[in-house]
Each structure stands twice: as C-alpha cells, then as structure tokens.
Structure 1
Amino acid sequence: MDSNTELLVAWRSGLSGWDALVDRYSRLVWSVPRSFRLSQTDAADVYQCTWLCLAEHLTRLREPERLGVWLVRTATRQSLTVLRTRGREVSYDLWEPASPLPAPDEVAVTNDRQRRLWSALMTLSERCQQLLRIAAHSPELSYAQVADALGMKLGSVGSTRTRCLADLRRKVEGLR
C-alpha cells in the first residue's frame, strides 16, 4: 500500500494519488459530520469543504503520514462552523413520510437521557470525545483507521475506548 507521502507526491505530479487518498479516508471524513448529527446536506458540504481544504493546503502539509488527524480536525472545524451558522435548527426531510408523534412522556424521557448523555460527553477529554463520536457514528472503521485519524497507537485504541466509555458511564450516572 502506498504511503500518504507517496500518494501526495503522485497527486502533485498529476498522477492518480488523489483517488487513492479519497478511497483511503472517505469513510473517516464522513464520520465526523455524522458524529455532529448534521443533516445529509450539511454533512456533504463539510465533506466537500474538507477535501477542498486539503487541496488548498497540500503544499503546506508537514507530516503527510498524519493526514488522517489533519482531515478529522479540519472536518471537525467545518462541522462546528456549520453548527454555529445553522444554530440548533432541526432539518426535516420533506420527502419522507411523517411518522406518528411520540407521546409527550416518551419525548420527555428521551430528551432527559440525551441531555444527560451530551452533558456527560462534553466533560470528557477531547480525545475521548473524538474517539467515542467515531465509535458511535462509524463503527465500521477499523482500529487502524481510528488510530491513524486520532494520532494514537494502534494497540491503545481499544483500551482507551473502554476507559472513555467507563468514564462516560460514571458521569451519566452522576447526573441522575
């Protein structure tokens, strides 16, 4: 498999390195806006902007082998920008048939659970937040892809995830 450095050099030379980079990191880049629960349209915008930023900053990348980390950070910044721009509006797809509304008590319980979960998640370290978002929204990613994206050692992904989940569980329980 070609290294990121080799692929970037090939792309700069006009060869097919770009397609290989997109194939390698596409799912990872998509996982970031999905983890922020952006609408499909906003997630697609973040995805495209992330790749555009890479094209614009290609000559300034100092550590091509840490490209996954760079892409996650860029997509995260883009996602946060979209959230700030859009506020907290909820996007409804007008083409989808409307489902029956849940009972008010179900809504209250669900909202309370979500509030406690998000409040607890925001108290975790940045690394735990990123790791748990990727795990929740892109479970198909391998440990190697997650390690590359977050700049972690491959052998520490599972144990770190376990510690982060245990910490999150304790914090959610403390918010009851």
Structure 2
Amino acid sequence: MTTSTAQLVAALRPLLRAEAAAEASAAGIEAADIEQAVWLRLLERETGPDEPARWVRSAVRTEARIARRRRRREAAYHADGPEPATGHDSSPEGRALAGERHRALRAAVGRLPGRCPELLGAMLSPDDPTYREIAGELGISQGSLGPVRSRCLGCLRRMLRAEVGAPEPWGKEP
C-alpha cells in the first residue's frame, strides 16, 4: 500500500465506519460486512476517487442495497428443519430417515482434517451463529471463514463421494 493510499484509508476510516453503521442499523445487516465490501471496492480501483467522501457515501449505500437484496433472497437454514430437496415428511419413517441423515452428516464432519470439524460444527449449530460469532469462537479472522469453509466443504464432498460413490449428473464419474 502506497503512502497516499494509506493516508486515504486513514482519512476515510471514521467516515466509512459511521456511514456503514447508519446503513446497517437501518437495513438490519452487519456494519462490518458493508465496511469490508467498500474497502474492497476502493482497493479494486486503479486510482483514488476524485471526491472521497462522496464516493464513500455512495459506495456504502450501494453495498447496503446489495446486502438487503441478498438478504431478501436468502433463507435461513435450520439443521432440525425439513430437508431442502425432499421437503417436510412428518411420518415416523421420514423423521427416522432425516435423523439418520443428520447423524451421518455429523459423523462425516467429525472425520474431517484440521479445523474443519470445529468450523462446520459451528456452522451447523441450531443457534445459527453469525460469521462474527463463529470467528470469535474459533479465534480466526472473519474474512478467512469463507475460504476455509469452502475448502472444508470441498473436502467433505470428496469424502462423501468416495464413501457413497454417487455418479455425477448425466452418468459422469467424478
């Protein structure tokens, strides 16, 4: 980071924090998520904005609008709820099968290497913790949760594919 970029970041930090907090409280989303997205936008630019304060306000509003749209489209996943693909089956057999799938998933997660069992276990928690809460619990940065989660899910996918041997769509082998 060049000196001028560092000075720009230092100058914009208080404004960005205030704007993100205001938009986040109105939208019901986390201010840190908005801040991170705006910093990323700034770093992606080849040159600094002509009017930094105006640019920050505009970028914060844009990121808050994107987050609100994303929030409307996403539905919370509850581990004890119905399976997304199969729907809700309240019969005793359906509940038994769902329980068995849940136990098998938990057992597979427990066999993963490294910090994957802790991370995926926290994400499967019925308390539905936020990324900030999970990062604090595991002692890792909030920004690294997504990449670590992706690697863990890829490892879980490969492990389950090897155990089950399910073919890919259209009969392709993995």
* TM-score, structure 2 normalization: 0.35
* TM-score, structure 1 normalization: 0.35
Structure ID, larger Rg:
2
Larger proportion of helix? 1
Q: RCO greater where, 1 or 2, for CA within 8 Å and sep 6 or more? A: 1
